[in-house]
Amino acid sequence: MLIVKLQANITALAIAMLMALPLHSFAREGVDVGGNSVMAKLVPAQDVERSAQQQYAQMLQQAAAKNALAPADNAQLRRLRGIAQRLIPFAIPWNERAKDWRWEVNLIGSSQINAFCMPGGKIAFYSGILHTLQLTDDEVAMVMGHEVAHALREHARERMAKNAATGIGANLLGQFLGLGQLGQTVTNYGAQLLTLEFSRSDESEADLVGMELAARAGFDPRAGVTLWQKMGAANKSAPPQWLSTHPSGSTRIADIQANLPKVMPLYVRAKKS
């Protein structure tokens, strides 16, 4: 019931905001990251979203069995859902499928410094990222915006398609553009959704799109700098950039700072409205 109510509230808010803000304004303002990957189109979106829904439900069941799933009246969960309600309406212009997603936000008790958004709008935060980093609302919005951006930009579909293409053999890919065999192969990769690793370019793209989402929702995009400073302090033993698929903290901060002039006007406008 709470999930249905959250979805209804988000949908109503999205309609109101989209009526107030012409869609063409999104094309003229904000970050420039180009279109979604062509590779993603090789994987049926509905199949990936169905798999994500199943895996998300299993994860929640496992967390509940361990008494690690936050109840609806948990203060931090209410906080997360409130931030999501502000962010999600601005996600729709980035991906037309997002308006039909059954968005969910849940909090899992764990020391992990982690959060994610699976295809179809399935968001989860681990309590460790909130407690260890002592995140402000602006910083939470940057994390959530980043994770939502992965779903909007269909990075999971793209990564699964590339994995499937590698497994099948690039020379055979043309035979499967119709897509039975490839679709079946992708299904075999479905188990990776919770552990899928994105590329450096995916992570950088999600940083920028997430920053714009947060700014449009009235959250200070400069929080991306303090977020990655905190993340860096908590991950002093992290491998250097050239040994990791993730950009280094200093690179992410530099990219965020370089793009702040593109999103600060959106934030200022949102705060005035």
Copy the structure tokens of residue 123.
């968001």
Note the pLDDT tens digit of each residue in 84-117.
999 999 999 999 999 999 999 999 999 999 999 9
Q: Note whether 11 and 85 are within 8 A (CB).
A: no
Q: How far, in whole angstroms, is CA 190 from its chain's centroid?
A: 18
The owner of tokens 């295809």 is 119
Q: Residue 141: exposed, middle, or buried by beta-carbon count in 10 A (0-12, 13-18, 19+)?
A: buried
With cut-offs at 50, 70 and 90, classify the pLDDT of residue 183. very low
pLDDT in tens, 241-255: 554 556 677 888 999
Average the pLDDT over 63-67 and give the result. 97
Per-residue pLDDT tens for 192-245? 666 667 778 888 899 999 999 999 999 999 999 999 999 888 877 665 555 455
Are 102 and 116 spatial neighbours (Cβ–Cβ below 8 Å)? no
Instruction: Quote the mean pLDDT of the chain.
Output: 80
Q: Which residues are catalytic?
A: 147
Averaged over 16-20, what is the pLDDT?
44
Judged against a pLDDT cut of 60, whether residue 149 lies above it is answered with: yes
Residue, of 166 and 50, whose pLDDT is higher: 50
CB-CB contact of 25 with 95 (8 Å): no
